[in-house]
Structure 1
Amino acid sequence: MSHIALYRSWRPQMFKDMVGQQHIIQTLQNAIREQRVSHAYLFNGPRGTGKTTTAKVLAKAVNCEHGPAIEPCNECATCIGITEGHIMDVVEIDAASNRGIDEIRDIRDKVRYAPTEVRYKVYIIDEVHMLTAEAFNALLKTLEEPPAHVIFILATTEPHKLPATIISRCQRFDFRQVSTAEQVARLDEICREEGIAATEEALSYIARLSEGGMRDAISLLEQTAAFSNRNITLEAAVDVTGGIAAEQFYKLAEAIQAKNAAEMLPLVEQLMLAGKSPDKCMENLIYYFRDLLVLKLAPGGQAATERIVDIDRFQAMASAYTPEELFRMIEILNHYQNELKTAAQPQTLLEVALLKLCSTSVPNAQQSAGISSDEVGSLRQQIQLLESQVSKLMKQGVAAAPAASQGNDRQAPRKSFTASGINRPKVKLDRYVAALQGQETQAARMKWGEIMARVKERKVTVQAWLKDSELVSATDGQLLLTFKNEMHREMTERPSHREIIEQVSAEVMNQPYQIVTVMLKDWQAALEGKQDNSIESLELEPENIPMQGGDKQPEWIEEAVKLFGEELVVVKE
């Protein structure tokens, strides 16, 4: 039996046969019982969830010779005629191929006439979101003043593409994906009726692949039954759908975990020779690592892992990864899956993705170093204490500058430096304040999220320091970043870190950009007009700068040397 025949034979002909949409069926039946049938319905939901089928069953229910009835008899001439498509007053239109204004005008002209064979004229417009703007306007006129004998049923997978004026004139029903358990029950029923032998694991696997679409599940069932001579096993289902077997999953995951590219590449080649498509392999790998992650984070939950046969082996593989590694691996696979859609060499891109996983799959730094959680907490406390001491010392240094310069009438140019020895020039904020609402600033803000993501790909530690910042203004090829934490600002300004950020910014913005940093409090003060819009990170008068001749350094610089060491504290003219 062909797929079309099999699907038609198992396509629900009555409301009670619908799978997974009981909430919608009950609402429609109550409306029929109370004779409050609407003139227009909007059925929205994923493909294969029963939108068009429900529309036809509704058309039979309101026109049944023994009704209107909450269940069509499915035996009278009207019900049979609607099922077979012989009733001219029940019209099904595919908007994907009949999307113009002429088709809708034709409907508008014909709705005025009473039905010739049944009670209601029913127009079922499938994929209604494909209609043109002019066609929607023509349809709107009909929906605003519909004749009493007409019912419109609009079906779509993308309701956001419909005009609000159309949606507001329809009763909207959202069809949900059919659950795996409901699909397995229906597939098992079909197998018993059709004399097909199938294991529960195979039916669960088919149901998961259909992604909640009953129609797709029946299609895969029939395809697998033909391949396996009506004896469906999990291995047969995996082979016919292009999936990766559990053993191949394990070998790939093991090679990635061991960072063994030499073993992984032959595995990919074997998959390609076996007829597996790169996009299907990528999709299956995402599912596989998703299941590993679920088992890792919710070991006591009812995580759906029907794709895996040997659960003990699967749990052992899950224990080899940290959640952070699995999150990152899924992100990488998802990124390359999108790239795969337009790739000229899909196999090569799959191999690149897996090589990227090998380089990313590294042991947790804390575990590798053998550091306990208590030690990590203690280190964090020490870092916070050092940050506060540095901030205090810097404030004392700035405050000491005027005192040291008393009695000295000569005003030498001020010098500016940071604790890590970075020569930081003055930042005049007036032009950044003026550019706050400018087009360049708005464009930079829209791209900042992408810049952060690419910086993370280049070097995650740079993005970690940069996360404390906020892009507030952009002008004349410069990006102004504000920081709450001085140390995060210092680390961001390191030459190697700055170079990465500026390179990524140039790539994303398609023009070179330099980053400029200020503290958040200084920026806020500039916005409020409480300062002269000129900020320096740390200013010293000449008397505070150590002399080349070996004069004694100020006490606060000596304290900084004790804290960080001479190699990290550099005073620059």
Structure 2
Amino acid sequence: METLYRKHRPQTFADLIGQEHVRTTLQNQLKGGCLGHAYLFTGPRGVGKTTTARLLAKAVNCLNRKGGSEPCNACEACLEILGGRSLDVVEMDAASHTGVENVRENIIENVRFAPVLRAFKVFIIDEVHMLSASAFNALLKTLEEPPAHALFILATTEIHKVPDTIVSRTQRFDFRRIGTRELVARLERLVKAEGVTVEETVLEEIARHSEGSQRDAESLLAQVLSLGEKKITMEVASLVLPISPYEEIVSLAELLSKRDVASALVAVDRLIETGTDLDRFVYDMIRYARELLLTRLGGSPGALSDLPESVRDRSVSLAQVFEPRDLTRLMDLLLEASSSRVSIPQLPLEIAIVKFCTEAGSEFPARGGQASPIAPSDPEPRLLHGEISESPLAANSELELVSKDELAEVVMNAEVALPEEADGHVTFKTVEGKWDEVFEKVAQAHTSLGFLLKTARLIGVEGNAVRLGFDFQFHADTMNATKNRDKLEAVMQKVFGSRVKIFGEYVHADADEIVGNVVGELGGRVVE
């Protein structure tokens, strides 16, 4: 039996939703006859990258295009591609064909020959970021000098893993997550085509759970339709769909805004009694707190627009009750609770509630006397140098002042607490022993990053956090740029077999040492 998302896969550009910027550009290129030789589609999963690639393959080979850009889906060329029988459209899944031999066999050897029947020979490479370094190098030459009859379409969910040399030789299109309203409209068309009646609240819940992925939304809808009912209500859908109890979420948030810890704990007990999935509830609570924060800061006025009407107005008012620091702290506590696994399922959530309502950092101006007094966050405040009493401004208290040089020495020698991953640890000796291998792989794939690593030195390994020292702050900042860290961490994961985190640090060195390092890297010498 054909799955719902395959059965109703978009067959024209007009059927694409949420990607107007991509659709408009490609249609204009088709109409103007100014197609590129290579395209790179990047974005989250399930938003239409592969579908758009197949639409473009149909459009360039269609014998009777409509309006200059839409495939007719009736000519021989379109029907061959629809049925997966076209000899002039080659699809390769890079996730299972990662090696250089796969690229040679499927692409390099194939691209030399003219199309069998159609105008263009189209090569679609899905999950292209999974290709090995040697496979990318083999593909690069073909992308640099492609034959006139070849069209390459690369698709990836992880653009940062695609070499810059590949990206620069393609036209890049960034696909976006699809809005809730657009997904609901799409789902309404599908249920109408299937001859089933589904309540709009069910479709809205499906759209929210899919988080902008059309494929996920249609897969969830297929599960709901599999119940076999001709009219599906929220009660029926709850048998297969994890329902978000927004009434309970908003009510709990209102209790937290008042710091009513007793009533909040009673509300959690009710959730347990009604069989609510607490893992899902905490996840939805985190997302709700984020939406409140975005609304409070004015960064996303429509953040609450996807909520059910029954709680929307209350949520808008609630967003103005919380201070931004309270919402960020609430999310931190809920994230901590979501990662806890104990025999009492409600305990992590209860602890998060108690901490939020009673600990410091959550106070804000009293509203109608609802806010409770908050205890100070650190009963034993400390300075870097010397000790002070609990009340630093108390009469007759003496503070020992710290000179600028002393403070600098303390900061330079301080231990930095770094986050650890759960994928296994590496040691200083391991990293030091394989550093040459890491450097060679990085320099081969990313020349500029390789030069930056020449100026680095290993200064520490804690858990799976690797600290690299640099003589200049600029070099440390460059290393800490997300793009550069991702590239180096990807290489190190391949070398060590576990995930590591890279931290670039400025390490003070005297002038002679800095000059010596720079001159050495440039291949020169100091003349006395």
TM-score scaled by structure 2? Answer: 0.65
Q: Quote the residue 2:99 is aligned against.
A: 100
Give the conservation status (yes or no) of the 8 Å contact 1:29–1:70: yes
Alignment of 1:8-87 (within 5 A): 8-66=6-64, 69-87=68-86
Give ranges in structure 1 of 5+ residues lacking alignment.
372-416, 451-573
2:146 counterpart letter in structure 1: P
2:397 counterpart letter in structure 1: G
Give the conservation status (yes or no) of the 8 Å contact 2:246–2:311: no
Q: 1:360 aligns with which of 351, 356, 362?
A: 356
2-side partners of 1:361 and 1:297: how far apart? 22
For 1:323-364, what per-residue CA distance to the aligned partner results, in whole angstroms no more than 9, with x for missing partners? 343332123223444xx2xx5x26757632442223313584
2-side partners of 1:241 and 1:151: how far apart? 42
Q: Quote the residue 1:214 is aligned against.
A: 214
Q: Quote the residue 1:124 is aligned against.
A: 124
SS for the counterpart of 1:151 is strand
Alignment of 1:403-552 (within 5 A): 420-422=396-398, 424=400, 429=405, 441=412, 444=415
SS for the counterpart of 2:155 is strand
For 1:95-124, what per-residue CA distance to the aligned partner results, in whole angstroms no more than 9, with x for missing partners? 111111111121212211112132211111
2-side partners of 1:442 and 1:38: how far apart? 55
2-side partners of 1:39 and 1:221: how far apart? 37
Deviation at 1:21, TM superposition (A): 1.5
1:12 counterpart letter in structure 2: P
Q: Quote the residue 1:145 is aligned against.
A: 145
Q: Quote the residue 1:331 is aligned against.
A: 332
Deviation at 1:426, TM superposition (A): 6.9
Give the conservation status (yes or no) of the 8 Å contact 2:254–2:318: no
1-side partners of 2:292 and 2:20: how far apart? 33
2-side partners of 1:93 and 1:351: how far apart? 48
- Aligned identity (percent) is 40
SS for the counterpart of 1:241 is coil
2-side partners of 1:144 and 1:316: how far apart? 53
Deviation at 1:93, TM superposition (A): 1.3
Deviation at 1:246, TM superposition (A): 3.3
For 1:134-167, what per-residue CA distance to the aligned partner results, in whole angstroms no more than 9, with x for missing partners? 1111111111111111111000111111110000
Q: Quote the residue 1:259 is aligned against.
A: 261
1-side partners of 2:312 and 2:147: how far apart? 64
SS for the counterpart of 2:154 is strand
Q: Structure 1 residues 319, 24: closer, same or farther in 2, change over 3 A?
A: closer
Give the conservation status (yes or no) of the 8 Å contact 2:244–2:284: yes
SS for the counterpart of 2:101 is helix
Q: Quote the residue 1:412 is aligned against.
A: none
1:258 counterpart letter in structure 2: D
Q: Quote the residue 1:5 is aligned against.
A: 3
Q: Structure 1 residues 346, 93: closer, same or farther in 2, change over 3 A?
A: farther
SS for the counterpart of 2:86 is coil
RMSD: 3.7
2:333 counterpart letter in structure 1: I
1-side partners of 2:302 and 2:407: how far apart? 54
2-side partners of 1:175 and 1:44: how far apart? 6
1-side partners of 2:342 and 2:98: how far apart? 35
2-side partners of 1:37 and 1:313: how far apart? 48
Moved more, 351-360 or 242-251: 242-251
Deviation at 1:424, TM superposition (A): 2.6
Could you say which structure has the higher helix fraction?
1
2-side partners of 1:209 and 1:103: how far apart? 37
2-side partners of 1:253 and 1:186: how far apart? 32
Give the conservation status (yes or no) of the 8 Å contact 1:41–1:153: yes
Alignment of 1:297-312 (within 5 A): 302-308=302-308, 310-311=310-311
Give the conservation status (yes or no) of the 8 Å contact 2:187–2:218: yes
2-side partners of 1:28 and 1:428: how far apart? 60
Deviation at 1:172, TM superposition (A): 0.5
2:198 counterpart letter in structure 1: A
For 1:159-193, what per-residue CA distance to the aligned partner results, in whole angstroms no more than 9, with x for missing partners? 11111000000001111122222222211111111
SS for the counterpart of 2:151 is strand
Q: Structure 1 residues 425, 313: closer, same or farther in 2, change over 3 A?
A: closer
SS for the counterpart of 1:359 is helix
SS for the counterpart of 2:57 is helix
1:327 counterpart letter in structure 2: T
Q: Structure 1 residues 92, 364: closer, same or farther in 2, change over 3 A?
A: same
Question: Rg bigger for which structure?
Answer: 1
Q: Quote the residue 1:494 is aligned against.
A: none
SS for the counterpart of 1:56 is helix
1:140 counterpart letter in structure 2: L
Alignment of 1:377-396 (within 5 A): none
1:153 counterpart letter in structure 2: I
2-side partners of 1:41 and 1:193: how far apart? 33
Give the conservation status (yes or no) of the 8 Å contact 1:205–1:307: no
Give ranges in structure 2 of 5+ residues lacking alignment.
371-392, 421-528
Moved more, 327-336 or 75-84: 327-336
Q: Quote the residue 1:503 is aligned against.
A: none
Q: Quote the residue 1:184 is aligned against.
A: 184
1:331 counterpart letter in structure 2: D
Give the conservation status (yes or no) of the 8 Å contact 1:62–1:119: yes
1:351 aligns with 2:347: yes
Moved more, 61-70 or 247-256: 247-256
